Amino acid sequence: MARVWLIAGPTASGKSALGLRLAAEIDGEIVNADALQVYRDFRCLTARPSLAETEICPHHLYGVADAAQAWSVGAWLRAVQPILGEIEGRGRPAILVGGTGLYFNALTQGLAEIPAIPTYVREAVRTRLETLGETAFRAALADRDPAAAGRIAPGDRQRLARAMEVLEATGRTLTDWQSDSAPLLAPDDYRALILDPPRDALYARCDARLGEMIEHGAVEEVAAVLARKLDTALPALKAVGYRELAHYINGELSLDNALTLARQETRRYAKRQTTWFRNRTPDWPRVKSLDAEAQWAALSSG
């Protein structure tokens, strides 16, 4: 039996249900691998496991951070390491479930401990990106870190800027920094499965689930956070649906229009997740179905 199981895929693809079924079958413990489900403020909006589900087996790293905290991949990796050790010490398998590809990448490929980037460097790089535009900025990055420029997806301005920031602040490429990192899990330590369902079926489920979130309190969650007047650049406030529901609460959109826009953004988010996993984990087994039994068969037969 694997020591660690990795269940990844886009939002609404059935990861949580599959992880819960596996945990019940093998007496495992579930560990969150979703960047937004770490925030306690958004149980409904991020589709965190329900209280009833968390009583079926132990769950870790769900709702552990406040929306005012800026969690990063590094923060998650530092938090997950002792948890995996404790689960192993209890003689139980760990089941990591989530849709944040960078978390799985850090776990299996490593994460460089890059020094903090000074604010003035970050601001200068962001200004340069805005001035040059993405194409010219990417070309400038390619002159100095061609590997990073080549692997960063079109439109991912945040990661482009990050690669240049590291160069400017440390004099060393992001690629070089990342090559020094050692993964927390060796290939023999884990079994992985990517849920990669048909796009139309996934989008339909995304649309339906957002309506369910509204019924169960997502608007109230957004209103509570909005009232705190937090910095809109905080990671928690990037939760899909937050911006659209905030516009509704502020009287700038009707609820129907907010839902329409939120559904569009959810589909785009699911597409980005799917593309990331296809590009970055091509060798991981995958199941192209939303059917729970098909997913279970793929997981249990691998």
Q: How do the domains of the chain map onto residue ranges?
A: 4-111+184-301, 119-179
Strand ordering across the sheet containing 29-32: 59-60, 29-32, 94-98, 4-8, 190-195, 286-287
User: What is the band of 266 on the pLDDT scale with cuts at 50, 70, 90?
Assistant: very high
Q: What is the pLDDT of residues 106-152, one digit of tens each?
A: 999 888 777 888 999 999 999 999 999 999 999 999 999 999 999 89
Q: Is the pLDDT of residue 2 over 70?
A: no
Does residue 302 register a pLDDT over 70? no
pTM exceeding 0.75: yes
Cβ contacts of 86 within 8 Å, gap of 6 or more:
none
pLDDT surpasses 60 at 162 = yes
Is residue 11 over pLDDT 90?
A: yes
Domain 4-111+184-301 has CATH 2.60.120.380: no
Pick the CATH number of 119-179 from 3.90.950.20, 1.10.600.10, 3.40.50.300, 1.10.20.140: 1.10.20.140
Residue 177 confidence (pLDDT)? 82
Q: How far apart are CA 145 and CA 166, in angstroms?
A: 11
